[in-house]
């Protein structure tokens, strides 16, 4: 079978060379037809005469994937099942129960019912361990297998059996639900900051065909509450989606008819210009946009266009750098080809693509465009911006590093489990904006951590052991040196309880989100995190300081020359 696969890969790569040759040297149609005939003949011969039975679907799919891998990571073949999942992502819609799920060592759990969803209305809670769906025992199943049973045609019934932790003997619960057409929100939360009521906040997590309307409703609602001193758009972790949704978002802040982006395909005639089509909702309100390394594609269009138009201050860390446009082409058997067809250029004329997939190293690898090779462009006001590496923020935010202890508290689900435990014994918590981790709550949380089960790889101890071993191998490990190692090791060895106290300020935000999320789901998690969010704090400071905001959006004296 491996020999078959290797042969098909070789043929596929040969075909790829034919199809991706530069336009000036593109192979004639006769060559393309001949190579396709060869490929078809090989597949037929293998199917008819190969000594062993082969999975021809798997072999051909492997060949297709090998061919596409020579292009870029965004051009990909999708089977019928994968294409259905892809369409769910672009529309935000699917038939199901309306809840996030995730896999843990115990099995798949409910990880957050959407407000108003069948899951929430039926009474499913975050932390419920799914053990049965209809007549199928799903104990220990991963989330992919469980999701395949949860999703289905809207209007159909299903029964879910769960094990609800920390509720005593009555832990096995059964719920009957009716699947609905689920629309996952692009804007899970918007509102005004409690500590700065004049500042509005809008979290945009994706770009689907509903995003433009959701952003518009959020901004209109914020505007209706009274004068706004500024708005924060949070695009951190937003991997993008539909280009039109980004254009609609930008259109909420700039005049109708403003160019947002243009795409250029392979041919000179394949350029398309996208302009805003509606009257802006907030044409003059100061605007800040939060970005990070997870901000990509359409979300970079939003941030980059508003930066180029000097309409917003970009805050955070450099964005991902994806300046390629994909479209979905229908294939036989309900499959799809997601195909890169163009590059996009924002108003200054720059392309934010950080990796040049058309130029590979000898080993086939690709690299980011070095800053030294990027080009200078200018915003509408004359500020300098650069291409080739994502969106560089106007104001950088330094986020605290996560210690090994905090990492293991989160990774080991200690905070998650405590949120479930807390909700089992506390019916309500009040306004999420007022919730704080008190001394008694934190002490109770610490009491739930079993040091014997806590995966705590102390970095200093590990490095000291490595140094001790190196000293032994190099011949330096005398009795006096060993004693010094022992003394130093004793100094750096702290009880877990003391370490939890030392890192309390870093653990509290995770703990608060888990607890509040049990009562208010994702919106509550966002609300309770805002007061301590370094990006939000920085954006608020800039928006409230009118002079600083204007200085950032104005070219320096040197740039004006």
- Same domain for 194 and 50, yes or no, is no
- Same domain for 257 and 214, yes or no, is yes
* Predicted confidence (pLDDT) at residue 13 exceeds the cutoff of 60: no
> How high does pLDDT run on average in the chain?
89
Please answer whether residues 428 and 521 qualify as being in contact, where contact means their C-beta atoms are separated by less than 8 angstroms: no
- Same domain for 500 and 464, yes or no, is no
Among the candidates 150, 183, 216, a domain finishes at 183
- Same domain for 200 and 112, yes or no, is no
pLDDT at 6: 57
Average pLDDT over residues 272-290: 97
For the entire predicted model, the pTM comes to: 0.85
Strand boundaries in 279-349, DSSP class E: 287-291, 313-316, 324-330, 336-345
Q: Dump pLDDT digits (tens) for 124-175.
A: 999 999 999 999 999 999 999 999 999 988 999 999 999 999 998 889 999 9
Q: Is 297 a catalytic residue?
A: yes
Model confidence at 121, pLDDT cuts 50, 70, 90, reads very high
Average pLDDT over residues 499-526: 95
What are the φ/ψ torsions at residue 110 (nearest 5 degrees)? -70, 125
Would you list the DSSP string of 514-533? HHHHHHHHHHHHHHHHGGG-
pLDDT at 24: 45
CATH number, position 345: 3.90.226.10
- Same domain for 357 and 503, yes or no, is no
Please answer whether residues 261 and 322 qualify as being in contact, where contact means their C-beta atoms are separated by less than 8 angstroms: no
Terminal Cα-to-Cα distance of the chain (whole angstroms): 67
pLDDT at 136: 96
CA pair distance 530, 514, nearest whole angstrom: 14
Query: Does any domain span residue 84?
Result: no
- How buried is 147 (Cβ within 10 angstroms: 0-12 exposed, 13-18 middle, 19+ buried)? middle
Domain count, the chain: 5
Q: Dump pLDDT digits (tens) for 404-415.
A: 899 999 999 999
Query: Does any domain span residue 126?
Result: yes
Which residue in the list 161, 210, 322, 538 is annotated as catalytic? 322
- Same domain for 11 and 61, yes or no, is yes
- Same domain for 116 and 179, yes or no, is yes
Q: Dump pLDDT digits (tens) for 370-418.
A: 877 789 999 999 999 999 889 999 999 999 899 889 999 999 999 999 9
Give CA separation, 369 vs 239, 354, 366, in Å.
20, 6, 9
- Same domain for 488 and 521, yes or no, is no
pLDDT at 557: 66
Q: Dump pLDDT digits (tens) for 213-223.
A: 999 999 999 99
Average pLDDT over residues 168-195: 93
Q: Is 444 a catalytic residue?
A: no
pLDDT at 234: 98
Query: Does any domain span residue 557?
Result: no
Query: Does any domain span residue 125?
Result: yes
Please answer whether residues 519 and 424 qualify as being in contact, where contact means their C-beta atoms are separated by less than 8 angstroms: no
- Same domain for 151 and 254, yes or no, is no
**Helices 504-529/414-425 angle, 10° precision:** 60
- CA angle centred on 480, ends 479 and 481, rounded to 5°: 95
Which residue in the list 308, 413, 417, 533 is annotated as catalytic? 308
Query: Does any domain span residue 449?
Result: yes
* Predicted confidence (pLDDT) at residue 526 exceeds the cutoff of 80: yes
CATH number, position 144: 2.30.42.10
pLDDT at 87: 66
Query: Does any domain span residue 86?
Result: no
Q: Dump pLDDT digits (tens) for 341-362.
A: 899 999 999 999 988 777 777 7
Q: Is 27 a catalytic residue?
A: no
- The neighbouring-strand residues paired with 344 are 263
Average pLDDT over residues 113-133: 94
pLDDT at 448: 95
Query: Does any domain span residue 556?
Result: no
Query: Does any domain span residue 65?
Result: yes
Q: Which domain holds residue 97?
A: 93-183
- Same domain for 299 and 200, yes or no, is yes
CA pair distance 511, 31, nearest whole angstrom: 62
Q: Dump pLDDT digits (tens) for 419-460.
A: 999 999 999 999 999 999 999 999 999 999 998 888 776 667
pLDDT at 488: 83
- Same domain for 44 and 106, yes or no, is no
- Same domain for 463 and 483, yes or no, is yes
Which residue in the list 186, 297, 319, 348 is annotated as catalytic? 297
Q: Dump pLDDT digits (tens) for 32-59.
A: 888 888 888 888 888 888 888 888 788 8
């Amino acid at each position: 079978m491996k020999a078959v696969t290797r042969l098909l890969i070789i043929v596929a790569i040969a075909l790829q060379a034919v199809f991706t040759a530069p336009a000036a040297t593109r192979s004639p149609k006769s060559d393309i037809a001949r190579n396709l005939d060869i490929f078809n003949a090989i597949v037929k011969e293998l199917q008819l005469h190969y000594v062993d039975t082969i999975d021809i679907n798997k072999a051909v799919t492997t060949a297709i994937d090998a061919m596409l891998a020579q292009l870029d990571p965004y051009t990909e073949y999708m089977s019928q099942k994968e294409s259905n999942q892809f369409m769910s992502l672009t529309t935000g819609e699917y038939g199901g129960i309306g809840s996030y799920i995730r896999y843990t060592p115990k099995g798949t759990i409910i990880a957050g019912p959407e407000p108003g969803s069948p899951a929430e209305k039926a009474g499913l809670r975050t932390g419920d361990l799914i053990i049965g769906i209809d007549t199928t025992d799903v104990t220990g199943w991963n989330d992919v297998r469980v999701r395949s049973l949860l999703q289905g045609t809207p209007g159909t019934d299903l029964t879910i059996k769960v094990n609800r932790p920390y509720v005593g003997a009555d832990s096995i619960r059964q719920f009957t639900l009716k699947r609905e057409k689920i629309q996952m929100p692009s804007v899970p939360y918007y509102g005004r900051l409690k500590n700065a009521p004049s500042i509005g906040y809008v979290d945009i997590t994706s770009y689907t065909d509903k995003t433009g309307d959701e952003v518009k409703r959020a901004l209109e609602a914020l505007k209706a509450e009274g004068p706004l001193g500024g708005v924060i758009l949070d695009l951190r972790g937003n991997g993008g989606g539909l280009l039109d949704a980004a254009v609609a978002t930008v259109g909420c802040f700039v005049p109708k008819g403003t160019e947002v982006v243009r795409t250029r395909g392979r041919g000179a005639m394949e350029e398309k210009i996208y302009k805003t089509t509606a009257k802006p909702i907030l044409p003059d309100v100061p605007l800040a946009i939060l970005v990070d390394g997870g901000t990509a594609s359409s979300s970079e269009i939003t941030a980059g266009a508003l930066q180029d138009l000097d309409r917003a201050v970009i805050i955070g860390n450099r964005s991902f750098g994806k300046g390629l446009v994909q479209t979905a082409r229908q294939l036989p058997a309900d499959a799809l080809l997601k195909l890169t067809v163009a590059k996009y250029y924002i108003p200054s004329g720059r392309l934010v693509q950080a990796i040049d997939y058309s130029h590979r190293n000898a080993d086939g690898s690709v690299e980011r465009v070095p800053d030294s090779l990027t080009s200078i462009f200018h915003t509408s006001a004359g500020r300098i911006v650069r291409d080739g590496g994502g969106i560089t923020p106007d104001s950088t935010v330094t986020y605290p590093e996560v210690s090994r202890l905090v990492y293991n508290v989160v990774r080991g689900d200690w905070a998650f489990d405590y949120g479930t435990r807390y909700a089992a014994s506390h019916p309500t918590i009040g306004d999420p904006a007022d919730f704080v981790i008190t001394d008694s709550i934190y002490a109770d949380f610490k009491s739930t951590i079993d040091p014997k089960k806590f995966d705590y790889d102390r970095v200093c101890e590990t490095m000291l052991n490595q140094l001790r071993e190196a000293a032994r191998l190099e011949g330096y490990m005398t009795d006096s040196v060993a004693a010094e190692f022992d003394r130093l090791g004793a100094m750096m060895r702290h009880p877990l309880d003391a370490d939890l106290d030392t890192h309390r300020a870093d653990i509290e935000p995770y703990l608060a989100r888990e607890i509040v999320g049990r009562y208010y789901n994702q919106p509550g998690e966002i609300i309770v995190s805002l007061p301590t969010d370094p990006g939000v704090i920085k954006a608020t400071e800039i928006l409230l300081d009118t002079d600083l905001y204007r200085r950032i959006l104005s070219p320096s004296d040197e740039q004006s020359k």
